[in-house]
Amino acid sequence: MQRHNTVVLGASGLVAQRMQQRLVNHPWFILSAVVGSERTAGQPLSSIPWNLSEPRPNLPQMTVLDGLEKNLIERLVELNVTVAFSCLPSDVADPLELHLSKAGIAVFSNASAFRRCDGVPLVIPDVNANHMSQFGTGGHMLACATNCTLIPFAVPVAALAATFGVEGLQMNSEQALSGGGYELLLDDRAQEGHHSSEILGEAHKTSAELLHVLGVAQNSARESEDENEIHRAHGAFEGCSSHVVAADLDVDVTCKRVTRSDGHQVFVTARLQRPAEIEEVQSCLEEHAFPERLQACPSAPLRSLQVVERIDPLHHLWADGERFSQAPNPSTDLKAGMAVVLGSLEMIDAQTVRFSAYSHNTVRGAAGGTMLLAEQAYIEERLPKQQ
């Protein structure tokens, strides 16, 4: 199949630059345009400060387009762009993402503007890949990746739910500085521990998105500003495997920021619906996998969950499902940092499991996870035709 021309919405942010990094050598997608704010628009892409720790890859020569330009969509159509990766703040993503999707450009968003909206799949491919069937319904070619904190939480919970059922969850998170953007990551005082541990709204957002991807019916307090466009979801997604999750699933989430550059770690206690032995639980987690058709995706890790005795946040950051690279090149190794690492697994009693899980927040939790949705759409032939 032909490679697709793509645009990255975002020029200088950590997630936007992760996406640019991943597109340099991607076999299915080509970086054809970058859209920025008024601060970066009109500048050569090569002049934008590079905020990632890895060296700047050999990005194509181009000028950053203005996200506020009236003729932006026409310019992207002229460039034959068929796929957009949105790495924008939510207030900017709405309505730009809708306008792009209406123009026939498939949008894969890391922003939260349209998460949990009717007609917009919110997908973690090794949790709820079937939700992508909504992509393109109602005239909106738009799919969303989840909150980065949800990845190490939802993937092992989905594995447990599929085998044993789950009726209660408690999770505490320790989230890296990069989750707050490059300004926080590059702040010397923050690197020394002088930062707030509070992350406003994070616990509620993580809980709500977990219930959504697991297919648990819920009443959302958030409504779309324009009810004629997209509505917030108010129930379980049809066809999801909600039968393995209690209808009144109790979820208790606490989130905090810690002094670490990258990597979100969660500490989970899960109450199962039926008794299990520790060997059964470990086997269930080790065997959890992406749907077979998606294992060919360039960004799909070799294993969904990589089980270790105990998590080392530095050593285990760049997990690919089998190995832990200590000097990765994310421009050429699209699987590095895409696996969820799980450790400290124990049974508290016959129906209570405790574990810790960890993933790279700007890779699997953001740019890589969003790209994985586009790869799924590519394999399933859901993308617009490339002219």
pLDDT in tens, 143-155: 999 999 999 999 9
* pLDDT top residue among 234 and 314: 314
Considering the segment(s) 4-146+369-379 as one domain, its CATH architecture is 3-Layer(aba) Sandwich (3.40)
Identify the pLDDT of residue 93: 86
The encoded tokens of residue 183 equal 């300004």
**How far is Cα 337 from Cα 363, in angstroms, rounded to an integer?**
6
**How far is Cα 109 from Cα 135, in angstroms, rounded to an integer?**
13
Residue with tokens 């068929």: 82
Q: How confident is the model at residue 2 (pLDDT cuts 50, 70, 90)?
A: confident
The pair phi, psi for residue 331, each rounded to 5°, is -75, -25
Identify the pLDDT of residue 217: 60
Cα–Cα nearest to 110, from 42, 241, 209, 5: 209
* 168-202 pLDDT per residue, tens: 999 999 999 999 999 999 999 999 999 999 999 99
Give me the mean pLDDT over the 84-104 stretch: 92
Q: How confident is the model at residue 267 (pLDDT cuts 50, 70, 90)?
A: very high
pLDDT at 321 over 50: yes
Q: Where do the domains of the chain lie?
A: 4-146+369-379, 150-360
Q: How confident is the model at residue 243 (pLDDT cuts 50, 70, 90)?
A: very low
CATH class of 150-360: alpha beta
pLDDT at 317 over 50: yes
158: helix, strand or coil = helix
pLDDT at 352 over 70: yes
Give me the mean pLDDT over the 48-76 stretch: 96
Number of Cβ atoms within 10 Å of the Cβ of 197? 12
Mean pLDDT score of the chain: 92
Residue 300 CA, chain-centre distance (Å), reads 12
CB 290 within 8 A of CB 126: yes
Number of Cβ atoms within 10 Å of the Cβ of 226? 11
* pLDDT top residue among 95 and 349: 349
Q: Strands 29-36 and 4-9: what pairing?
A: parallel
Q: Strands 166-175 and 65-66: what pairing?
A: unpaired
* 273-301 pLDDT per residue, tens: 999 999 999 999 999 999 999 999 999 99
DSSP 318: T
Cα–Cα nearest to 207, from 236, 170, 179: 170
Question: Which residues sit opposite 358 in a β-bridge?
Answer: 265, 341
Residues in the chain: 387
Identify the pLDDT of residue 232: 52
CB 357 within 8 A of CB 268: yes
Identify the pLDDT of residue 248: 81
pLDDT at 222 over 70: no
Identify the pLDDT of residue 247: 76
Q: How far is CA 381 from CA 29, 132, 213, 368, in A?
A: 14, 12, 22, 20
Give me the mean pLDDT over the 219-229 stretch: 41
